[in-house]
């Protein structure tokens, strides 16, 4: 079935099974689910399990059970990144044929010594394009990098409005494949969304610096660009960054007053949707039905905050 033709909106949730689902990820799941379903579209689940050494045994199943217990049921089968390596290879070959990637022999330490520019929130050090004209003699290939233009990449975020970034200044030529053959996240996620016909990407604001890179890859490969919405981030009490070990849903659901329905009600409040009094005592299905029928992206707040599990 070609879902991209049958439905105008195809959303997705793409957690990495490196641990149990935490409250920040649940906000992304609920936000993406409600936006896709409000538009009459599909909501897909993809497990971003490409980085095998960081995966934890049983966490993929734990995440899916948590989503199901909250009534967040995905359309079709759950997809795993690890099953798409052939397609990533084909995209990589397309980039090679286009002449826009090159081998790089620089280590992270060498890049850090050269780079003094501020780097993106995802930890990518700005690359000074050292190997664009060729690797130094005797160097081994540590990665393959995509050449980027010295120009602005612009998109309209459904919550934040117009976003513009010069990726040449922000990160420079970036990695699409490691020297050991593993494909990088930025390439993999673009290919995954294309393969499954995703037209709407709703995720946390911490990933917004990656979006221009992904849009650029889409343009080079001739893929359709999805629409984007980056949601406010859940923080620890006091505004500190929320650790991925904090507020693990499956570990604490038994302690949440009112159970899953109350938790979804709190997430709706966090997303600015003003659910009616009394809905907090409803089932997950009833809370989600109200959210689907009434979701308004214009009500999502500018800033995030804490959602205590109690």
Last residue of a domain, one of 165, 187, 209: 187
Show the domain range for 181: 85-187
pLDDT digits (tens, 9 = 90+) for 120-175: 555 567 899 999 999 988 889 999 999 999 999 999 999 999 999 999 999 999 99
CA 25 – CA 286 distance, rounded (Å): 21
- Residue at token pair 């538009």: 39
Percent of the chain surpassing pLDDT 70: 88
Q: 269 near 262, Cβ under 8 Å?
A: no
pLDDT digits (tens, 9 = 90+) for 271-302: 999 999 999 999 999 999 999 999 999 999 99
* Residue 209 covered by a domain: no
pTM: 0.91
Same domain, 100 and 58: no
178-188: burial string, b at 16+ Cβ within 10 Å, e else: eeeeebbbbbb
In sequence order, what are the residues at sequence separation of 6 or more whose Cβ sits closer than 8 angstroms to the Cβ of residue 144?
92, 101, 102, 103, 104, 175, 176, 177, 178, 179
- Residue at token pair 């329905």: 261
pLDDT digits (tens, 9 = 90+) for 17-44: 988 888 999 999 999 999 999 999 999 9
**Mean pLDDT value across the chain:** 89
Percent of the chain surpassing pLDDT 90: 74
Same domain, 52 and 139: no
Q: What is the CATH number of the domain that holds 89?
A: 3.90.800.10
Residue 244 — pLDDT band, cuts 50, 70, 90?
Answer: low
In order of 22, 114, 213, the CA distances from 57 in angstroms are 17, 39, 31
pLDDT of residue 4: 43
CA 192 – CA 209 distance, rounded (Å): 19
Q: What is the CATH number of the domain that holds 29?
A: 3.40.50.620
Residue 81 — pLDDT band, cuts 50, 70, 90?
Answer: very high
CA 47 – CA 49 distance, rounded (Å): 6
């Amino acid at each position: 079935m070609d879902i991209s033709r049958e439905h105008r909106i195809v959303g997705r949730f793409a957690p990495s099974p490196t641990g149990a689902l935490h409250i920040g990820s649940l906000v992304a799941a609920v936000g993406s689910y409600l936006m896709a379903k409000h538009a009459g579209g599909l909501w897909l689940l993809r497990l971003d399990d490409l980085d095998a050494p960081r995966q934890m045994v049983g966490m993929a199943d734990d995440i899916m059970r948590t989503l199901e217990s909250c009534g967040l049921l995905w359309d079709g089968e759950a997809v795993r990144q690890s099953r798409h390596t052939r397609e990533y290879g084909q995209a990589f070959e397309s980039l090679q044929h286009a002449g826009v990637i090159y081998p790089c022999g620089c280590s992270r330490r060498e890049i850090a010594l050269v780079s003094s520019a501020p780097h993106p929130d995802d930890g990518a050090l700005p690359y000074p394009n050292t190997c664009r004209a060729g690797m130094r003699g005797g160097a081994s290939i540590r990665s393959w990098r995509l050449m980027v233009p010295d120009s602005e990449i612009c998109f309209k975020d459904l919550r934040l409005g117009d976003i513009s970034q010069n990726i040449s200044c922000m990160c420079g030529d970036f990695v699409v494949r490691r020297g050991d053959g593993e494909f990088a996240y930025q390439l993999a996620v673009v290919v995954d969304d294309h393969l499954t016909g995703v037209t709407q990407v709703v995720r946390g604001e911490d990933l917004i610096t990656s979006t221009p890179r992904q849009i650029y890859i889409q343009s080079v490969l001739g893929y359709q660009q999805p629409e984007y919405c980056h949601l406010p981030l859940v923080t620890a009490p006091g505004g500190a960054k929320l650790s991925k070990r904090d507020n693990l849903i499956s570990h604490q659901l038994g302690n949440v007053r009112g159970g899953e329905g109350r938790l979804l009600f709190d997430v709706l409040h966090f997303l600015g949707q003003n659910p009616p009094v009394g809905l907090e005592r409803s089932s997950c299905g009833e809370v989600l039905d109200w959210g689907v029928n009434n979701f308004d992206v214009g009500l999502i707040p500018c800033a995030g905050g804490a959602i205590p599990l109690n």
